[in-house]
Every structure is written in C-alpha cells, then in structure tokens.
Structure 1
Amino acid sequence: MTGIEVRHSIVNGSATERLNMVLPSNFVELDWENLDYLGWRDSHSPHLGYIIRWQGETPVGIIVREADGPLSRQRMMMCQLCRATHTEHGVSLFSAKRTGEAGLNGNTVGTYICANLGCSSNIRVEVPSASYYADPQSVLAQKVSGLEQRVAGFLADVMRAQ
C-alpha cells in the first residue's frame, strides 16, 4: 500500500482529516504478511488512531479517537478485538465517527482496544506447549480468524447507517 491508498481508504474522515493523517514511522518496513489489519496511533495527535483492513483487495479504514477520561487502572482490561488482557494503560476506549449523515450528526461507535492498536502482534505471542493446548499453528489460525471477524464487525458498525 502507498500513503495515498491509505488516505483514500478512510471512510469516516473528511478530506482535511485524511490529508493531515500521519502514517506510522515504520510504514515502509511493515510486515504485511503478519498484519491482520493495520493499526497505529498518530504521532502528531496522540488521541487519534487509524485502523485499516482489507476487504478482498480493497483497503477500508477508519479514524478512531481515544476517550478523554481515564479507565480504571485497578483491574485487568480486555481488548475487544484481539481479546488480550492488559493492566495499567494497555487498553483504551476508542470511538469512531459513523459514516454518512449519522456521522455528520455526531453519531459514534466505541469499543475497548489495545492502546497501541497493535492487536496483530499481540495474538502472535508464543503458545505454551502444555498438553492441553492444540497445535500452536491451529491456535494462531483461530486467533487470527477471531481478530479479523471482530475488526470487520467494528468497521461494519461504523459504516452502518443509523
């Protein structure tokens, strides 16, 4: 993907928002084979992030915004995309403006996501070799499938007309 393709993939942002988007610093070095979706925080506007996934050969992306209020830091939190659990600042509440008229009216969708938007890396941790685990490759395949389904569902919620 090129920077222009990334910008054109955004479905819930204005032309100005797409133009001002800052690509990840490692964009040219990304390991596309191990990315179930591309997610990153904007280095110039840390409250903004971007999620892009592929629908067939077409990239579809959204702008997400981190909630202002602090989450409870006294307990574990779970990312609703990769299902990884974190303590402290590992999970944040992100919202995305809906597309179309609903978004223009201020309608948003939100969910808890890994604060660094790096779920593709989080699901690729080594699977313990204990006897109660299945083949590590099948465990990873199940994690990838679940992540892809949940990311697709979140993007579909953003694009759903309300």
Structure 2
Amino acid sequence: MKRMTGIEVRHSLANASASEAANMVLPSNFVELDWENLDYLGWRDSHSPHLGYIIQWQGDRAVGIVVREADGPLSRRRMMMCQLCRATHTEHGVSLFSAKRTGEAGENGNTVGTYICANLGCSTNIRVDVPHASYYRDPQGLLAEKVSGLEARVTGFMNDVCRS
C-alpha cells in the first residue's frame, strides 16, 4: 500500500460526512505503519470503539469507508471466519461490521455488512506463518495468493458500499 497522510485518509472516506471525517481518530501508530506490508489500512477508532475504518488504494486514488460494529456479542462457542482474510477465530476475534452506503441509498439508511476480524488487521493475519503450509506449496506463492484474495474481497466489499 502506498503511504498516506492524515489529510489523504480523511479525504478518502466515501460514506462519511465532513464532520465525521474531521472527528476521525487516526491509529496511534500511524507514523510508524509498515505500509509495504499493508494490503489495506484498517483500524478501530480509539475514541469510538464501535467505529472502524477501511482505506484501500483503487488505482491512483484512495477510497475509504467507515464501518460500524454491530451491537451484541457473537457466539463464544463457535469458530467464526473473517470474510475478508478468511482467518478463523474463536471468542471475539470476528465481528459483524456494517457500512452505510454512499449517496441516496445511504441517506435512506441502506447498509452493507460482513464479518471482519474484530481488530480490522487482516493484512497482518494473512502474513502469519502456518507451519504445514510450506509442505504443500511455495510459501511466497501462498502469500501472494492470500494477498490477491484479500485485496479482491476488500475491493468487492468497498464497491458494494459505494454502489448507490
């Protein structure tokens, strides 16, 4: 992912009002982010923990969305899978997030939702070494497949949100 400034991040938000973008809190480690190993920028708002943000480069422009975590806990006894990175988690590792659609659809209250890693850290999750994976194929090829899949699924989710 290309490095961004705070202003670029705020201007990328497609489904936020100007005041929502202005009140957004950047991640505490924003200046130290490892941009080369990010497939998208995702984080939870430290002042409004039910809010999160997902920013992705689409061509030469950054597109971002605000997501809101659903109220109520998911089952603690069930394994859940993130629909973006396809990592499975127990307990509170996956949450249902929804995003207000852009344009008139969003003004009418229409949203799009999916299950995402609760910390919005899918770029890190796909880079976790799986010991048995190297027995089946080239680890670098496996990572490239994971990155490609994650980017495609994030793009699909963002396109659903931005489709009026």
For the criterion TM > 0.5, the same-fold answer is yes
Work out whether 1:73 is the aligned partner of 2:83: no
1:157 corresponds to 2:152: no
- 1:99 corresponds to which residue? 102
Match of 2:112 among 92, 100, 109: 109
Q: Among the aligned pairs, what percent are the same residue? A: 84
Q: 1:13-36 CA distances to partner (integer Å, 9 max, x unpaired)?
A: 001100000000000000010000
- What is the distance in 2 between the residues matched to 1:66 and 1:134? 36
- Specify the SS of the correspondent of 1:154: helix
Give 1:12-161 correspondences, 5 Å limit. 12-129=15-132, 132-161=135-164
- Paired residue total: 161
Unaligned runs of 5+ in 2: none
Q: Distance in 1 between matches of 2:104 and 2:132?
A: 50
Q: CA deviation at 1:126?
A: 1.2
Q: 1:152 to 1:130 in 2, by over 3 A?
A: closer
CA separation in 1, counterparts of 2:133 and 2:102? 45
Q: Report SS of the residue matched to 1:102.
A: helix
1:83-118 C-alpha deviation (Å, 9 max, x unpaired) = 000000000000000000000000000000000000
Task: Name the SS for the 1:117 alignment partner.
Answer: coil
C-alpha displacement of 1:132: 4.2
RMSD over aligned Cα, in angstroms? 1.0
Q: Does the CA-based 8 Å contact 2:40-2:55 persist in structure 1?
A: yes
Mapped to 2, the partners of 1:72 and 1:152 lie a distance apart of 28
Alpha-carbon distance in structure 2 between the residues aligned to 1:133 and 1:101? 48
Off by >4 Å, runs of 4+ in structure 1: 129-132
What TM-score does the superposition give when structure 1 sets the normalisation length?
0.97
8 Å contact kept, 2:53–2:67: yes
Whole-angstrom CA distance in 2 between matches of 1:150 and 1:130: 22
| In structure 2, distance between residues paired with 1:91 and 1:83 | 11
Alpha-carbon shift at residue 127 of structure 1 (Å): 3.3
Q: Is the CA contact 1:127–1:136 (under 8 Å) kept in the aligned structure 2?
A: no
